[in-house]
Chains A and B, each alone.
Chain A
Amino acid sequence: MFETIAQQLLLGLTNGMVFALVALGYTMVYGILEFINFAHGDVFMLSAFFALTLVGAWGVPGLDGATLAGVLLAIVALTTVFGAGVNWSVDRLVYKPLRKAPKLAPLVSAIGVSFVLQNVGLVWGAAKMEVFGGGGQPAAPKSFPALLPTTNLLGGSSLTLQVKDVLVIAASLTVMAGLYVLVTRTKLGKAMRATAQDPQTARLMGIDVDAVIGATFLIGGGLAGFAAVVYALYINTVYYQMGYQNGLYAFTAAVVGGIGNIPGAVLGGLLLGLVRALSDQFIGAQWQPAVLFGILILILVFRPAGLLGSTAREKV
């Protein structure tokens, strides 16, 4: 019993890291624009496809040792840049021209972008590469090679803590720590926080609000790209609707944590991952959405602004 719980908690933690990384992209953009980027999950999906393409193009499954490690790092880095670039481009091409339009306009456009990106995923899924199964079934899930070491660090114990678990958790925490330093200690971070609270006044301080918004999409997209590689290496399956499902969960995590609140997104992501794993184990996987969204509703009933969202009234 104890072992089962421990095992599920570990699974929940690793999945929660991915939710948290994706949730950060929703929450950071919301914090600045009060806008839900519904296409964010699909940036995550395309990034996973991009990583799989690199894996195929570079013949990664045949590599090992230091070469494999080096190539994996390169894939992580390039996919992060890819996610950042896609997210930034979507903002510049679609959302930016609508900045002064009523709020519903960018929101509906984001839903449209989400469908467009999913279709890009379908076309990409037809790539005539071996890693894409030859491209015959674009919508079918593609298996992503298991490239991370699965050695059990707990040796003979019946509990398993694999090297890949540790890698996923350590890498995710490092990225989150980096984001924390960026937001709290750097000039860009200051500009982001000021813009989130009052964009008009931020301009009076000399902050180029448009550049800050662009940087926010870059960072959010980069986190989604990074999360996509982590997810693909850990779950070993990618498919064109993975962004829709994981995006919905990550968005939920952001809302539970308090949309617009950065630590809240991490907390919400981890919570969602843990609850999901425990619910799958003890209630049954078929109940997963009901349990998760039931808890979401309960949390929002008692804390409408989310766990870390501010409910305090501000003096004006």
Chain B
Amino acid sequence: MLVVDSVSAHYGAIAALHDVSLQVDAGEIVTLIGANGAGKTTTLACISGLHKPRTGRVTFEGKDLGPVPAHDIVRLGIAHCPEGRRVFPRLTVAENLDLGAYIRSDKDGIAADFQRVYDLFPVLGQRKTQLAGTLSGGEQQMLAVGRALMARPRLLLLDEPSLGLAPLIVETIFKVVVALNQQGTTVLLVEQNARMALKHAHRGYVLETGSVTMQGSGAQLLADPRVQAAYLGE
């Protein structure tokens, strides 16, 4: 479904990714783990079009994303839930969700998806008219995920959804991700919380200073002594 092929990316003269290749098949949860600064966020940005690779190719369902601007990539079926939530703080919860459906015009479908998000995260339903900037961190994360779902993506990119959240809320978010995946959404999950991510993912990649150094099934990586030493604190 998604193929990242030998991608290198730079910020000015600074190289952030060297020759990164990875693949996500339809129906999978794939996780990308790595330390702070490894290049995880940059990898997602190269997929959603916020950043353009210097070399290499990203293709989605066979289509080369290179020339496609970010605002059109979401139209192809890729929603990116960015690092740090990035909800629109001076818009209400409902307006944020509505913007998630910006690319759509099927009124009935949108209404149904509002309900679906409120069912997944009841607290958002209770706070519809509240400004997003006044929500707690966990609620903002739920809103950011909900907003991404409003685009009805086939591929969902999640960047550190558990960052800075209480364990109970992390559980909630992971439960939702697994449920979404079972309903057919493919997920590429970036996490520093490697244990949680590998436990729930079908496959994983390890990114170190801009390069993929290990890959395998979630269970394999969990059992790998190098992963355990570097990312699981064992």
Contact = CB atoms under 8 A, between A and B. Distances in A.
A: interface residue count bin: 20 to 34
B95 interface: yes
A193 interface: yes
B161 interface: no
Contacts of B82: 200-201, 204
Nearest to A190: B99
B140 A205 contact: no
A201 B137 contact: no
Contacts of B84: 316
Contacts of B70: 203-204
A64 interface: no
A194 B137 CA distance: 20
Given A197-B88, A197-B91, A205-B102, A315 B71 contact: no
B100 interface: yes
Contacts of B134: 315
A184 to B, nearest CB: 10
B102 A203 contact: no
Contact of B102 (A191, A312, A314, A316): A191
A201 B88 contact: yes
Contacts of A202: 99
Contact of B71 (A190, A197, A198, A203): A203
A204 B88 contact: no
Interface string A279-316: 00000000000000000000000000000001010111
Contacts of A201: 82, 86, 88
Interface stretch (A12-20, A41-49, A130-138, A206-214): A206-214
A193 B89 CA distance: 11
Given A206-B71, A206-B103, A315-B137, A200 B50 contact: yes
What are the 3 closest A-B residue pairs judged by CB atoms, nearest first?
A: A206-B103, A314-B133, A203-B70
Interface of A: 187, 190-191, 193-194, 197-198, 200-209, 310, 312, 314-316
24 contacts: A187-B102, A190-B102, A194-B88, A197-B88, A200-B50, A202-B99, A203-B69, A203-B70, A203-B71, A204-B50, A205-B71, A205-B99, A205-B147, A205-B151, A206-B75, A206-B102, A206-B103, A207-B102, A208-B71, A310-B90, A314-B90, A315-B133, A315-B137, A315-B140
